A and B are shown apart, each in its own frame.
Chain A
Amino acid sequence: MPLSGTLDVAPRLADAPKLDNYDTEAWEIAGVELLSLTFEIDDRQMTAALPPALHPTIPPVAYFSVAAYPESPIGPFALAQVRVGCRASALPRGFLLRAYSDSPAACDALGRRWGYQCLPADVRLRRYHDRVVGTVAVDGREVLRASLLDPQPISGGSIFHVSTMNLARADDDGGRGVLVQVDPAYTFHRAERGAPEVATFERDAWNAEGIELVWPVTATFVRCDTGFPRIRYVLDAQQPARTGTRKLR
């Protein structure tokens, strides 16, 4: 059977957010701008970056994203994420290593409601005619600069955004931690594709020690309606997704 993650979940749980409950209401947000980059990563970390519930992709990949949400119940915010590509059983997913937002209120809400390990930072998304640039700076130190170069229009229907798996703590997790599946829908209004470039990636700021980018795959920039849905599934982080998935609704 396929390889499985070997991440020791316990130390990560110490910093993981605590869910209020599983009865999260959805946030549906229009006019979101979303920059996404995909890179193949060094296979030495292909299992170490993932909890035992998940399988690595072959080749292993990392997803970088920077998004601007123009409105939400806690106001506008930007959100940057670094995820590792994986499979939950047979389904494509991205396991969140860490997120940053320019809104402390968003960090709090995303953590309590959807399990995002999200810290405050200066998160910016800038669109130019020759590139789209997402940056994250923590206390003045740039920890991510990710760009899409030479954007070309494509159909949004060609884009496949993988859903996210967030490691969190919950009242009923028995101290083992849960993976929260965040699987928003997307309605695309504009989509572009280009070459990905990561000029700055400070791994220690992203729980990404050992993650080496070895091969660029692609970058996309979209304007879409999306958001954060109600939580439908949670997984035991430490057993295979096939047997450790709990359906909530």
Chain B
Amino acid sequence: MKFGIFYEISVPRPWDPESERTVYERALEQVRLADELGFDQVWAVEHHFLEEYSHCSSPEIFLTACAVQTKRIRVGHGIVVCVPQINHPVRIAERAATLDIISGGRLEMGTGRSATWTELGAFCANPDDTKKTWDEIVRCLPKMWTQERFSHEGAAFRMPPRAILPRPYQKPHPPMWVAITSPDTEIDGADRGLGWLGLTFGGLEEQEKRIAEYRRRIKVCEPVGEVVNEQVNTVNFLYCHEDDATGVAKGRRLQGTFGYMAAQLLSAREAYPTPSYPALGLLPQLRPDADSPGDSVRVPDGLCIGSPDRIIEAIKKWESVGADRVNFLLNAMEVVPQEEVLASLRLFAKEVMPKFAKTESAEPAAVVAGGS
């Protein structure tokens, strides 16, 4: 079991000239500490226009700062929105390769397609098309990184032969992942040899079934790249405290705040009817039974909040359902003071990490040579 942290970079109102800088500086301080403590990965999302919820529109720049301020932690670029109106596929490949070089081969490459009308509508991307364009782009990225010259005639984009430069530092290319939120995306990922980058919180029983199907399917995959990444990376909240009641209470505040803010987003399906988005993004899992505005945001099972013992038990459950990695959200809307975030990380590293098998240094996710 490996552990990581991930960032949405949420910036609460009221905003002043220092607000965003403060949140970024705090995040970087957390990343430096996580690196020292032995966390394996730091991930940063790509979101646009999501006021307060996420001010992380250029994650490759944040991750570059993470890379140069750390020695060993791997940098997770994810997910990169594989929608050509938002990111030209060549620019995705170029930026990722540069980040891999700057980080000394520590890049993990997450892919996805955005789930909000707020983002897709602003870039005039048709929600009907995003699954198709994601598919086309993830097939192209490894070729861009490895072919001497790359050319393409597709629905999402076309281009004459060019050398896509620079090339990634990792050979043949960095491990690739896909964001898992909508139903059946795990099958898409498995069939393409992509790692599972879970973005749904909790729900052990449901996740166990989906992970099992993913494991079964990936054994017979036709990989898009030259390596198969068969790792399952889940997401969770972290608030670790010596006093269990304090840890649970503050952790629930963190989880509730994140859920409340996520629910404010205008999801693609809510705004624009399309079979491409069968789920309302994060909403159903945050409020599966809630139909009263007075209901609290649901507390999913398997959360890593509370005392070290409670968190150890939660992680063991995740381990038992097949997760290889857990990424932690440490804060939302800055409801957890920075010193408490750092203390939580330290306590987790001291009391929880030793209970789980761990390698000496962070390792890339790719585990199986591919080739179709």
A residues at B contact (CB < 8 Å)? 1-3, 38, 40, 55, 57-59, 61, 85, 87-93, 154-155, 157-160, 162, 181, 183, 191, 193, 215, 217-218, 220, 232-233, 235, 241-247
Contact = CB atoms under 8 A, between A and B. Distances in A.
Given A58-B118, A58-B266, A218-B273, A89 B52 contact: no
Interface stretch (B79-87, B256-264, B356-364): B256-264
A87 to B, nearest CB: 6
B36 interface: no
Judged by DSSP, the binding face of B is loop
Interface string B261-298: 10111100111111100101001001100111111010
Given A1-B333, A57-B266, A58-B50, A90 B297 contact: yes
B121 interface: yes
Measured as residues with beta carbon below 8 angstroms from the partner, the interface class of chain B is: 35 or more
13 contacts: A2-B261, A57-B266, A59-B49, A89-B260, A90-B259, A90-B290, A193-B273, A217-B117, A218-B271, A232-B292, A244-B294, A245-B293, A245-B294
Nearest to B51: A58
A162 B267 CA distance: 12
B274 to A, nearest CB: 6
Contacts of A183: 291
A91 B260 contact: no
Given A61-B266, A92-B270, A40 B50 contact: no
Contacts of B290: 90-91
B130 to A, nearest CB: 14
Contact of A247 (B260, B261, B274, B294): B294
B121 A91 contact: no
Given A158-B269, A158-B273, A89 B121 contact: no
A58 B265 contact: yes
Interface string B293-331: 111010000000000000000000000000000000000
A57 to B, nearest CB: 5
A242 B294 contact: yes
Given A160-B273, A217-B121, A55 B291 contact: no
A91 B269 contact: no
B264 A87 contact: yes
B12 interface: yes
Contact of B292 (A3, A38, A233): A233
Contacts of A2: 52, 260-261, 264
Interface of B: 12-13, 49-52, 117-118, 121-122, 259-261, 263-266, 269-275, 278, 280, 283, 286-287, 290-295, 297, 333
Contacts of B49: 58-59
Nearest to B122: A59
A43 to B, nearest CB: 10
Nearest to A3: B13
A193 B128 CA distance: 12
A244 B286 CA distance: 20
A208 B292 CA distance: 27
Contacts of B274: 154, 158
B297 A59 contact: no
Nearest to A246: B294
A154 B275 contact: yes
B269 A160 contact: yes
Most chain A CB within a 10 A radius of its CB, from B49, B51, B118, B294:
B294
A241 B271 contact: no
Contacts of A155: 275
Contacts of B269: 158, 160
Contacts of A58: 49-51, 118, 264-266
A89 B271 contact: no
A22 B127 CA distance: 40
B117 to A, nearest CB: 7
Nearest to A193: B273
B294 A1 contact: no
Contacts of B273: 154, 158-160, 191, 193, 218, 220
A3 B269 CA distance: 22
Most chain A CB within a 10 A radius of its CB, from B118, B271, B275:
B271
A185 to B, nearest CB: 11
B271 A38 contact: yes
A52 B196 CA distance: 41
Contacts of A243: 294
Contacts of B292: 91, 232-233, 245, 247
Contact of A91 (B50, B122, B263, B272): B263
B292 to A, nearest CB: 5
Contacts of B287: 90-91
